[in-house]
Structure 1
Amino acid sequence: MEHSNVSIQALVKEITEEMLSDIDPYSFVSPSAYDTAWLAMIPNLQPCPVVPMFKDCLDWVLKNQTEEGYWGECDAHGNPTIESLPATLACVIALKKWNVGIENAQRGLAFIRANIEKLLGENPNQFPRWFAIVFPGMIEFARKIGLELDFPNRSKGLLMDIFFERQEILETEELTAGSYRPLLSYVEALPSFYAINQEDITMHLRDDGSLFQSPSATARAFMATGKKECLAYLQSLVRTCTNGVPSTYPMDEELIKLGLANQIQRLGLAEQFGQQIEDILTQAYWNYNNQASSEKPSRSASVATQLHKDSLAFRLLRMHGYDISPWSFCWFLNNQEILDHIEKNHEYFSSVLLNVYRATDLMFPGEYELEEARSFSRRILEKAVPKGTGDDDHFTKSFNLQRMIEHELSLPWVARLDHLEHRAWIEEKDMNALWAGKTSFHRLSSLKNEKFVQLAVADYEFRQSIYKNEIAELKSWCLKWGLSDMGFGREKTMYCYFAVSASISLPYDSDIRMMIAKSAILITVADDFFDMEASLNELNILTDAVRRWDAAGLSGHSKAIFDGLDNLVKETAGKHLQQHGTDITSYLQKIWCETFASWLVEATWSKSGYLPSMDEYLGTGMTSIAAHTLVLPASCRLKSSLPNSKINPAAEYETVTKLVMLIPRLLNDIQSYQKEIEDGKMNYVLLYMKENPDADIDDSIAFVRDLLEKKRKELLKHALMDGFCDLPVASRRLHLSCMKVFQMFFNSSNRYDSNTEMLQDIQKAIYIPLDVGTSKPLMPLSSDSGSKKGFQTITSHLNFRPLKYHNKRIIGCQTSLPIGRPGYAIKYITPNFRLSFA
């Protein structure tokens, strides 16, 4: 394990020194084969037009053909997309023009012939607008210079469809207006009969000499007009981008850096590169404060890039505690022309609006502009990702945006745990897509992204190895103190550990995970003891023993619960004394004492039939949910421990703590009211109907959900922003993580009480290796992996029980511990031990 940690730190150092010590933004963006080929075509007018002006671009084309014979990007599975067709043709044309790389050109043409039918067939009904413009243009250009394309007969019908689609576009769209990217931005691909004069080009040159900041369009404009402004732009481009050119130039360097910071965070590497992220965000915040009054873009192409950048910056800055207004990215709401434009061209704004939607996750009370932005972006995203129609736009389909969008829309951010989010991002092979360009996404450089992914995989799997060891240690602790099999209630050892390990990225050697998990186990066991096992007299005796902190008079389950609790408090207090020099025993005892007292009150209510008021119920229920019993002792163990004034047993809880006590109680009550009706108990949902006789159950749930929404916004503000309480940042973030755990458990059902719903998440968090392109079994097996012996290797770890053998192969099995109660069926295990869950 130590060797793995050393390897991880060595890779962190390597990445820091080679990539992050002095960030060159352009080096982090993958080049565009299509645009680089167009620059390679430009002849050097002085001294001789028979050599390329930008020989480095031609050399790039020669050196960057794939083994399969194409140029351009691939999809999530490493296969070429339709982008490769025009990119490959452009590169072949460049080689033909200078009569070099004959073999490369032949391989490129062979690739097109062999794959054109398949690639075009993957885009039924309608091709992306850019493709319908660019690909026919490249075909015509290739034929004009004498290339024999010789397409297979089977593909000719599809090619006719593309040319027909282009004709419709040319007949219905204006040259310089009306769409996300006007036709003139594709000047290099427009047909020869489409008359474009020098005045059209001159009128639309930017101040930097570019035509819509497109290298390919500007290259064609320069070849047609010889304008020195275009030449200066192209020369600046190749000086800046020495390893192939991007599809847009100049690029927003701050946006590249923000995309890099976002990538690092989503891969789960924020701890390793915290200073680099902070440097990027400090500069972004400075820019925000000094450019707040500047005009926002009006050009349609610029709107998409600016909105993408502003929403990404807002989310990152707010998540890191910066004071930033929602209007930093909600400016688009005040421009009806922009709103209409986004609606009309929603397919091109999919990735932009996904960032807008994610930014609205971090909404504080009273931020109605964020509510409007969330509603608008959600509506457009749902429109941009049709279900099962087959006519998804190019950007959504090619880069798996549909899957990302569906993930964001179906499960709120507050119900997702960091560790599993990191896993999903590591396994998402198109995750390095940054934002949409002219004909493809701008993406992080594949070589540099691979380094980050390599580190993320090592970190994730190293954490898994730690988590597996810790869960084994936790089971031993439960067994030692008699908490494993009390004969009643819920056995949730694995659930408790999963929740803490997956919710926040604590250090590798953190004992906080174990402390919180032990606390959660004790809370579950004791809560069930109060709810379903003990008499009121037994509960009074146990609660009094906790108040006195003396086990005298206890026996059986009561004694086991107290002894486990006493061990936990002594362990926690002892480590705090060693680390911080203060004894917090009385503080910890006070928290547990009031928790037990709240359980006793509720048990008394239940057994006596007493119906409390809503306020009375919440006063007790906020404590009995025991969220503060998890986060406050854990906060004491953080490096930035609670100040001494906050670990005074008489100290009042901060607002952020009260909110993290209230929200889980309301979440629990929404999902448990039916069960509690059957058990003859009350909760907040039911009490609302009692105090509001005209309300039905739907009215009551709606009332509680509205209250929850309001309180979640308050908690976010107190957890993320300074100035609202004296708790250190790490403690406030722990409060936020605790709230997210309860939201995960009770988002749409009571997952905590389910014996099966959590299994897949637990397996992915702790046991199943990452899927990063290679096929792996669930767990390391012996060489005899197809036999009973091999099966026992895996079942001994996960406690699977075989159901049936056939010729020494396993037909099926069933799991019991440690995941929960028996009954979760494994449908089939292949000879290579791939599990198929029923």
Structure 2
Amino acid sequence: MDLSKVSIEALVKCINEEMMFSDIDPYSFVSPSAYDTAWLAMVPADSNQMEPMFKDCLDWVVNNQTKEGFWGEHDAHGNPTLESLPATLACVVALKKWNLMTENAEKGLAFIRANAEKVLGGYRHQFPRWFAIVFPGMIELARKTGLDLDFPDHLQELLTDVFFERQRILENENAGGPYPPLLSYLEALPSFYAINEEDIIMNLKGDGSLFQSPSATARAFMASGNKDCLAYLQSLVKTCTNNGVPPTYPMDEELVKLGLANQLQRLGLAEHFTRQTEDILTQVYKNYKRELPSEKSCSFTSVASQLYKDSLAFRLLRMHGYNVSPSSLCWFLNDRGILDHIEKNHEFFSSVMLNVYRATDLMFPGEYELEEARSFSRKVLEKVVTKGTGLDNDPFSKSSNFQRMIEHELSLPWVARLDHLEHRAWIEENEMNALWPGKTSFHRLSSAKNEKLVQLAVADYEFRQSIYKREMAELKSWCLKWGLSDMGFGREKTMYCYFASSSSLSLPYDSDIRLIVAKSAILITVADDFFDMEGSLDELTFLTDAVRRWDARGLSGHSKVIFEALDNLVKETAAKHLQQQGTDTSCFLKQIWVETFDSWLVEAKWSKSGSFPSTDEYLRNGMTSIAAHTVVLPAAWFLKSSVRNAGISLAAEYETVTKLTMLIPRLLNDIQSYQKEMEDGKMNYVLLYMKENPDAGIDDSIAFIRELLDKKRKELMKHALMDGLSDLPIESRQLHLSCMKVFQMFFNSSNRYDSNTDMIQDIQKAIYVPIDVGTGTWKPLVPLPSQSGSKKEFQTITSHRLVLRSFKYQNKRIVGYQASLPVARRAHVNFFIRPSCRLSFA
């Protein structure tokens, strides 16, 4: 067994044992808040004002200062974030109050003085609301405690801006204002902001907390001595022994579990924790069925966390086949006050709206509530993106990373993205351990636990890359052996076909499906091009007859090459299926290919004769000629819950999900290829629709097809995810969905399949380039294997500071890196590096 696979299995076992999925302690899964822990460390004992009441919290502060001198959040490179400034001041105040660790306190203050300008500089005139309230409060508290902050003069202007923004907020808002209410920041409000003990008591929750905020409740207890506040704080410390204090208490255990399940899925680890994820979702679904949408808490103080939870639950449950109603997510649409509130505070709700938007990816026909939720969330996100730096007002994001994430979601629909690359993007995302919003920062998955998950995700991804590179080489050898690599016409798409088959679904490591799908797609491309641009009508008719007879006698040239490769593929596929599943599929494999060749011949006759079929006639044939079912059905037989359980049917009996998988790619292809096909005199649904509707122009025809596509995609989504609508097992239906997503990726906004360069970066990331988890190590691209037959003699691929060049010189292909690096700040040196050189820049 491969050592990489052994290490992955060992790590999976270790994570299972350590995380105890069956009995999750939410407080061990969520990173503590240095800011809130410091506030509990400040609370004096009842009997002795000279000692802390919660010594464990003070000990946590003493033991959790970074080597750079700060407390609180840092990004993936270890750099302090905005949240670290008030957190560090709060921790320094706690140490000063008890005359502890003077050296540590000074180191913390030195960090503030040295780094505040750099951290604040990117937020000039755009300070987040929470920060404008909390940071001035911590400065005032530090000075009141007797700390000498001694900020440098050049920082004073920035600090003045922060204090000015606080004054504006206090003048324009009151304790019942925007979420979170000002009183939830009690610990940071200035002395002139009049809040008396009665205000505090009136706003205490039933558990004795002030908006379930540990820091605000600690301040409330110190101001009032309220016994309910004390009971809350004591319960908090008892529950979170040795772990520090979370940003919110009590936490929603179900939300923590959903966040963990979401993290496993987005990191590409779902297959390793199938049972654990199913256990989580089973329990969530039980509670979901007991809770009616009307019972949801719609107070402004809980809208963000409730919506965040509901969006995660909806997406995860629906993705796993649970019957969930749109009303479980869309309840907020029924309250105009909540909608106005979200729009008014769109920066704060940006991360929540992003998750609502993602949940609506899984929309079924007739779900108008979800359409409304998608439209509303998109409007909010577009408003956030338009503001640009205003993204920093979201306390849970780094503007540049978060903005890219939003733009990615808005610009490229989920149905056009491949799982493998989505997993990579999430692994490399700096803020990927964020769970749900809190008062001043995200609740985050524990760093120690998240690091192990990321370690496993990286190992899994790079082990897959090693498999994919090996299979890619095997595929190229197969193409060379059967003469498909250089036919002298058409498109050479070996890499594209394998990239699509390997990246679209997280198949087991040893799956035969990837190569079966890739070989089928390569053969389809070559044969389709032969029918479109090379063969005469007599040649095409003779080849189709040979496929019907399954007999190569009389074939020669390209026709013989195509048939012999096809015969090899069918024999290989049937033999593997007979070995694994005990069923002989030879007859059906031949039948499905006969249908495909027949449909190509029909199109060739239309094209060469200049006849025009009706749109209905064209679609009936076109659904077959796009050959999606020719790829997906044979592949589905190799899944563990094989289609054999439902029986192998002929074309007339194809399931609805299969017919939709045949129709959608045809429509997608026709939207992007009508111009070329119009020039070549070929049939296309866009053109035929205009012929049957003389008043319709190109735009009208495309709009009609897009509307039809939207409807059919929703139908496919429902048939793929929900039980009871198909006899096919869920794995087979999801393979159909994956096939549709591949075509959507190829034809979403252009014809990427016919481009020689559009896919290069994605192929690099999927198969060749090692993953970057934000360690600061720069990794260059590796050269792609050359593609013979490519009409593009020159390719440029840019990544970081390196350009990969591929060109022909004296009939030889040269591949290597060209770089231009600064020398002595003024000059630049250009150099060329052959692929054998291994480079790494720190």
Cα distance change, pair 489–17 in 1 and its aligned pair in 2 (3 A): same
User: Structure 2 CA distance, aligned partners of 1:835 and 1:549?
Assistant: 52
Q: CA RMSD in A?
A: 2.3
| TM-score, length basis structure 1 | 0.94
Paired residues for 1:250-261 under 5 Å? 250-261=250-261
* Structure 2 counterpart of 1:814, from 806, 810, 820: 806
Give the Cα–Cα distance (whole angstroms) in 2 for the partners of residues 385 and 803 of structure 1: 33
1:120 counterpart residue number: 120
Tell me the equivalent position of 2:198: 199
Corresponding residue number in structure 2 for 1:660: 661
> Which residue matches 1:314?
314
Kindly state the Cα deviation for residue 129 of structure 1 after the two structures are TM-superposed.
1.3
**1:627-650 deviations in whole A, cap 9, x for unaligned?**
000000011111111136531447
| SS of structure 1 residue aligned to 2:653 | coil
Q: Name the counterpart of 1:245.
A: 245
Per the alignment, in what secondary structure is the counterpart of residue 435 of structure 1? strand
Other structure's SS at 2:86 match? helix
User: Closer, same or farther in 2 for the Cα pair 1:645/1:147, shift >3 Å?
Assistant: closer
Contact residue 391 and residue 403 of structure 2 kept, 8 A: no
Amino acid in structure 2 at the alignment position of 1:473: E
Counterparts of 1:416 and 1:737, CA distance in 2: 10
Query: In the alignment, what sits opposite 1:438?
Result: 439
Counterpart secondary structure, 2:302: helix
What is the one-letter code of the residue matched to 1:222? F
C-alpha displacement of 1:300: 1.0
Instruction: Identify the match of residue 777 of structure 2 among 759, 775, 778.
Output: 775
Q: Aligned AA for 2:613?
A: P
1:346-361 equivalence runs, <5 A: 346-361=346-361
Give the deviation of 1:181 after TM superposition: 1.4
User: What does the per-residue CA deviation read over 1:627-682, in whole Å, with 9 as the maximum and x for residues that have no partner?
Assistant: 00000001111111113653144761000000000000000000000000110112
**The 10-residue stretch of structure 1 (403-412 or 186-195) with the greater mean CA deviation from structure 2:** 186-195
> Residue by residue, what CA displacement relative to the aligned partner does 1:744-788 show, whole Å, maximum 9, x if unpaired?
0000000000000000000110001111124243368xxxxxxxx
1:201-350 to structure 2, matched below 5 A, reads 201-242=200-241, 243-292=243-292, 295-350=295-350
> Do the aligned partners of residues 779 and 374 (structure 1) sit closer, same or farther apart at CA in structure 2, a change above 3 Å counting?
closer
1:788 paired residue number:
none
Change (3 A) 1:297 1:816: farther
Is 1:638 aligned to residue 639 of structure 2? yes
- The SS at the match of 1:347 is coil
Letter of the 1:462 partner, please give it.
F
Secondary structure of the corresponding residue to residue 125 of structure 1? coil
Shift of 1:117: 1.6
User: Is this contact kept in 2: 1:386–1:392, CA < 8 A?
Assistant: no
- Residue in structure 2 matched with residue 74 of structure 1 by the alignment: 74
- Secondary structure of 1:491's counterpart equals coil
In 1, Cα distance between the equivalents of 2:43 and 2:31?
A: 22
Q: Which SS does the other structure have where 1:643 is aligned?
A: helix
Alpha-carbon distance, 1:59 to partner: 0.4
1:791 corresponds in structure 2 to: none
CA deviation string 1:222-267 (max 9, x = no partner): 1111111111111111111121011111111111110110000000
Q: Is the 8 A contact 1:543 1:596 kept in 2?
A: yes
The Cα shift of 1:705 comes to 0.4
Distance (whole Å) between structure 1 residues aligned to residue 13 and residue 531 of structure 2: 52
The 3-state SS of whatever aligns with 1:434 is strand
Letter of the aligned partner of 2:291 in structure 1?
A: Q
Q: Contact 1:795/1:801 (CA < 8 Å) preserved in 2?
A: no
Counterpart position of 1:527: 528
Alignment check: 8 A CA contact 1:826 1:835 kept:
no
SS at match of 1:671: helix
What SS class does the counterpart of residue 285 from structure 2 fall into? helix
**1:48-105 Cα shifts (integer Å, max 9, x gaps):** 2221111110000000000100000013432112211111110001001111111110
Q: CA deviation at 1:389?
A: 5.4
* C-alpha contact (below 8 Å) 1:828/1:835 kept by paired residues: no
Alignment partner, residue 584 of structure 1: 585
Written as runs of structure 1 = structure 2, the 5 A alignment for 1:12-161 is: 12-21=12-21, 22-46=23-47, 48-161=48-161
Distance 1:675 1:811 in 2: 32
For residues 807 and 235 of structure 2, the distance between their equivalents in structure 1, rounded to whole angstroms, comes to 64
Q: Is the 8 A contact 2:717 2:737 kept in 1?
A: yes
The Cα offsets for residues 407-432 of structure 1, whole Å up to 9 and x where unpaired, read as 10010000000000000000001111
Determine the structure 2 residue equivalent to 1:491: 492
Q: How many residue pairs were aligned?
A: 813
Matches within 5 A, 1:718-757: 718-757=719-758
What whole-Å deviation, never above 9, does each CA across 1:515-566 have from its counterpart, x for those lacking one? 1100000000000011111111111111111111111111111111111111
CA distance in 2, matches of 1:703, 1:182: 48
Tell me how far apart the structure 2 counterparts of residues 629 and 802 of structure 1 sit (CA, whole Å): 34
Cα contact 1:425–1:431 (8 A) shared by 2:
yes
* Structure 2 SS opposite 1:308: helix
- Name the structure 2 match of 1:364: 364
**Residue pair 2:43, 2:218 contacting (<8 A) in 1 also:** yes
Does the C-alpha gap of structure 1 residues 823 and 403 become closer, same or farther in structure 2, counting only changes over 3 Å?
farther
Cα distance in 1 for partners of 2:64, 2:209 equals 26
Q: Provide, for residues 471-525 of structure 1, a one-character-per-residue CA deviation record: whole Å limited to 9, x for no partner.
A: 0000000111111101110000000000000000111111110011000000000
**For residue 465 of structure 1, what is the aligned residue in structure 2?**
466
Question: Which residue in 1 is equivalent to 2:828?
Answer: none
Deviates more, 1:660-669 or 1:68-77: 68-77
Q: Name 2:511's counterpart in structure 1.
A: 510
Q: Secondary structure at the match of 1:300?
A: coil
Q: Give the Cα–Cα distance (whole angstroms) in 1 for the partners of residues 795 and 740 of structure 2.
A: 40
The whole-number CA distance in structure 2 between the counterparts of 1:539 and 1:679 is: 18
In structure 2, how many angstroms separate the alpha carbons of the residues matched to 1:812 and 1:380?
Answer: 39
Distance in 2 separating the partners of 1:414 and 1:802: 31
Distance in 1 (alpha carbons) for counterparts of 2:635 and 2:807: 32
Paired residue for 2:825?
Answer: none
Q: In the alignment, is the contact (CA less than 8 A) between 1:254 and 1:284 conserved in 2?
A: yes
Counterpart amino acid of 1:449?
Answer: N
SS of equivalent residue, structure 2 residue 435: strand
Separation in 2 of the partners of 1:397 and 1:473?
Answer: 43
Cα displacement string for residues 329-383 of structure 1 (whole angstroms, at most 9, x for unaligned residues): 1000011111111111111100110011001100000000011000000001111
**Deviations for 1:301-347, whole angstroms, at most 9, x for unmatched residues?**
20111011001100000000000000001000011111111111111
Deviation at 1:293, TM superposition (A): 5.3
Label 1:387 to 1:231 Cα distance change in 2 as closer, same or farther (>3 A): closer
1:544 aligned residue: 545
Deviation at 1:815, TM superposition (A): 5.2
- Looking at structure 2, the residues matched to 829 and 593 of structure 1 have their Cα atoms a distance apart, in angstroms, of 54
Structure 1's 647 and 445: CA in aligned 2 closer, same or farther, altered over 3 A?
same
Q: Distance in 2 between matches of 1:724 and 1:611?
A: 36
1:692-725 Cα deviation digits (max 9, x unpaired): 0000000000000000000000000000000011
- Structure 2 gaps of 5+ residues are 797-801, 822-830
Equivalent position of 1:784 in the other structure: none
Aligned counterpart, 1:374: 374
1:717 aligns with 2:718: yes
State how 1:653-732 maps to structure 2 within 5 Å: 653-732=654-733
- Whether the 8 Å contact between 2:137 and 2:190 is mirrored in structure 1 is yes
Deviation of 1:812 (Å): 7.0
Q: Distance in 2 between matches of 1:145 and 1:91?
A: 12
CA distance in 1, matches of 2:389, 2:45: 49
User: Contact between 1:124 and 1:391, CA under 8 Å: does it hold in 2?
Assistant: no
Letter in structure 2 aligned against 1:675: K
Distance in 2 between residues matched to 1:422 and 1:293, nearest whole Å? 32
Q: Which moved more, 1:250-259 or 1:287-296?
A: 287-296
**Amino acid corresponding to residue 375 of structure 1 in structure 2:** S
SS of match in other structure, 2:443: strand
| Alignment match, 2:568 | 567
Q: Aligned letter for 1:745? A: F
Q: TM-score, normalised by structure 2?
A: 0.93
